Structure 1
Amino acid sequence: MTSPAFSPDWLKQFSDPYAILGVAVTADERRIAKRYRQVAKRLHPDQQIGAEEAAREFANSVLTRLVNPAYQRLKQDKGRAEVLATLRFKVRRLTRENKLTTQVAQAKQLLHVDEAEVDLFYEKALTELSDEQYSSTENFAAQTDAIAELNLVYLRRKMGDPVIREKRTGLMSATSQPAASSPVAAQPTAAQPQEKTQVDYGQRHVARAKTYIASKAYAEAVQELRDAVRIDPTNSNYHTMLGQAYLLQKMNGMAKVHIRQALKLDAQNRIAQKYAKQLDIAMATPTTANNGHAASTNGHDKRPANSNGQGKKGGLFSMFSAKRVKK
């Protein structure tokens, strides 16, 4: 195959740097850098020694004229914010003009999946497309266009949500975007939008973790779930999933830590209870959350009912001491 001429018109069709790199529009700097290194290594001249001359030229041109500039735009917070603003503006314009059409099967399906499954489906579809993106010169243009279309549909499905960008240690919301993207009146309190943003953000990590677990990439799943727990440390389900991921790595000690914490947060968590039995974790007497009072149904645990003593130890320390007393 003869390499396409890298004319300005040809280059303009690849206007989405997320699509060029084959990375999600929700990706943080860590994921973007990791994907960039993978792509750059694959396109590096040293990896193209055995390829035909046309393929070598194509790979070098894609790397220097598309991949490197795309990474430069996305590696900083400001650049990602500008790119997302441009993509969202494009989505609103195409939606208003009824021109947001879909040609790719994954994008068509994404338009109609249940709201709760949007993030997970998007990540899976993106993985399918990006895995083949740089496998050959023939695939590059088709797969990159498909990812760009998938990104637009995903942003369309998320149009009513607050605009957020992933960061390694927290959230950043665009203050002007929610009013522009939704005609709904102002929220009654400032705390409610932030709470919704955190839940959505944590779920993104959970969705990616499920994808990693399905492909048996347990170390990556653990990292995603640790990020989810960091965002919402009082979520019993997040601790349970992290315990499961550690168990899949045969790291029983860490698994016990998070299963115990899951049960401390929600003693009725059935999945955590199941893994507690598997890990031989003593089932503690249920306690009433957030008030520091022991709530024993059988009268066995009558340790301090005041919130001060428990609050000072807090977290895992109070849980471990409870286990020692029971023994």
Structure 2
Amino acid sequence: MSFRIERGLFKYDLTDHHAVLGIPVDADPKEIRKRYLKIARRLHPDRCASGSAVEKQLASDLLSKLVNPAYEQLSQERSRAEYVAILMQMGRRLIQESASVELYTDGARQLASAPNINHLYQSAIANMAVAQYDSLQQVLENIAQISELNVVYLMRNGGKNFSPSPPNTASPQTHGSTSSSPLTSPSPKNSTKNSPSTPSPEISATGQYIRRAQELINKNQLALARVELQDALKLEPNNSCCHSLLGVVYLKQNQIKMAKVHFDRTLQLDPKDEQALAGKRKIEQILGQKPGSAKSAAKLNTGTKQPNKSGGNGLFGGLFGGKKK
């Protein structure tokens, strides 16, 4: 049996693995595994022992063709980071096409115009997940509804408030009716002006990339932060703040050579940039050499990843905290 969903991210030829598992886009590994095990138990043959042959086959197909591939993609750090980066790029693409984005559920439309979406989005996903696999015949419809929420979240996370176009027809092919996503949490009041999801119009496009990258760095989502900063540099190749933050990202990823490249570029543009100066000192500290020595410079040019000796406080703790030796 093959499955076809024509709403949400699926409409754009992208399998929405997060929707399949009923988890938010920013779910962590523990949350992903916990949710997968719960669904796998629900679809296990022993659980369906009392069902019909058709129901058993449907459960088996859902597990093997949707749930297992979703977990395989999201359970590995590298593949998950690459996939989420693709989602972020898709969100930016949809922002450019927002006039043509169609939403079929009240929940997704409500999310599109909410002043602050983060709590509402998380609550909506959690509520949908409760009964997502209770009725196997309704699973594809539930996945479609969650994927619509993910579309809105990705666009709003990219800084876009929008009014979706009303759908021209009934909901595209899924199993079950087009009921609304259960949003039980009230929309926050308008006391959250210029929240991270609704940036001020005075902030430039590059500034929005930088702001999102800084938030991702704080969450240690380094691969996504790097994508944001690289996109920012396409707009402003000589933005010293972008180069400095990229140096931070590469240094936290133990990519010493790339970190040095961006710190050096930062200091060419702004010789007094404290973050870049601290980053250069940190690189010398990692290599165990005196700043400016020829031997140290030679090591920096090898491109070899060095072990992270910054301790448990992360880069910023290592750069700006702790005692000097």
Using structure 1 for the length normalisation, give the TM-score.
0.51
Amino acid across the alignment from 2:222: M
Cα offsets for 1:169-216 (capped at 9, x unmatched): 94424313245279875766469979xx9xxxxxxxxxxxxxxxxxxx
1:8 offset after TM fit, Å?
Answer: 7.5
Structure 1, unpaired ranges of 5+ = 198-229, 235-307, 309-327
Q: Contact 2:94–2:155 (CA<8 Å) still a contact in 1?
A: no
Where do residues 35-184 of structure 1 align in structure 2 (5 Å cutoff)?
A: 35-97=35-97, 98-114=99-115, 117-159=116-158, 160=208, 162=212, 170-174=220-224, 175-180=226-231
Cα offsets for 1:226-276 (capped at 9, x unmatched): xxxx99xx9xxxxxxxxxxxxxxxxxxxxxxxxxxxxxxxxxxxxxxxxxx
Q: Contact 1:163–1:173 (CA<8 Å) still a contact in 2?
A: no
Structure 2 counterpart SS, 1:45: coil
1:84 offset after TM fit, Å?
Answer: 1.6
1:135 offset after TM fit, Å?
Answer: 0.9
Distance 2:15 2:154 in 1: 16
Taking a change above 3 Å as real, the CA distance of residues 164 and 148 of structure 1, as seen in their structure-2 partners, is farther
Point out the more displaced range, 48-57 or 88-97. Answer: 88-97
Distance 1:187 1:178 in 2: 10
Structure 2, unpaired ranges of 5+ = 159-207, 250-312, 318-322
1:9 offset after TM fit, Å?
Answer: 8.4
Structure 1 counterpart SS, 2:222: strand
1:163 offset after TM fit, Å?
Answer: 5.6
Where do residues 234-249 of structure 1 align in structure 2 (5 Å cutoff)?
A: none
Distance 2:139 2:223 in 1: 33
Amino acid across the alignment from 2:55: A
Distance 1:165 1:80 in 2: 18
Structure 2 counterpart SS, 1:25: coil
Distance 1:138 1:7 in 2: 12
Cα offsets for 1:21-76 (capped at 9, x unmatched): 11111011111001000000110011111112211110111001110111000001
1:99 offset after TM fit, Å?
Answer: 2.5
Q: Contact 1:27–1:166 (CA<8 Å) still a contact in 2?
A: no
What is aligned with 1:28? 28
Amino acid across the alignment from 1:79: S
Amino acid across the alignment from 1:142: E
Structure 1 counterpart SS, 2:114: coil
How high is the sequence identity, in percent, across the aligned residues? 27
Taking a change above 3 Å as real, the CA distance of residues 28 and 7 of structure 1, as seen in their structure-2 partners, is closer
Q: Contact 1:87–1:152 (CA<8 Å) still a contact in 2?
A: no
1:148 offset after TM fit, Å?
Answer: 0.9
Taking a change above 3 Å as real, the CA distance of residues 15 and 182 of structure 1, as seen in their structure-2 partners, is farther
Structure 2 counterpart SS, 1:46: coil
User: After the TM superposition, which parts of structure 1 deviate over 4 Å for at least 4 consecutive aligned residues?
Assistant: 7-10, 163-167, 181-188, 190-194
Taking a change above 3 Å as real, the CA distance of residues 76 and 7 of structure 1, as seen in their structure-2 partners, is closer
Distance 1:61 1:45 in 2: 11
1:153 offset after TM fit, Å?
Answer: 0.8
Distance 2:240 2:104 in 1: 40
Distance 1:166 1:16 in 2: 21
What is aligned with 1:277? none
What is aligned with 1:242? none
Taking a change above 3 Å as real, the CA distance of residues 126 and 184 of structure 1, as seen in their structure-2 partners, is farther
Where do residues 196-235 of structure 1 align in structure 2 (5 Å cutoff)?
A: none
Q: CA RMSD in A?
A: 4.1
Using structure 2 for the length normalisation, give the TM-score.
0.51
Structure 1 counterpart SS, 2:46: helix
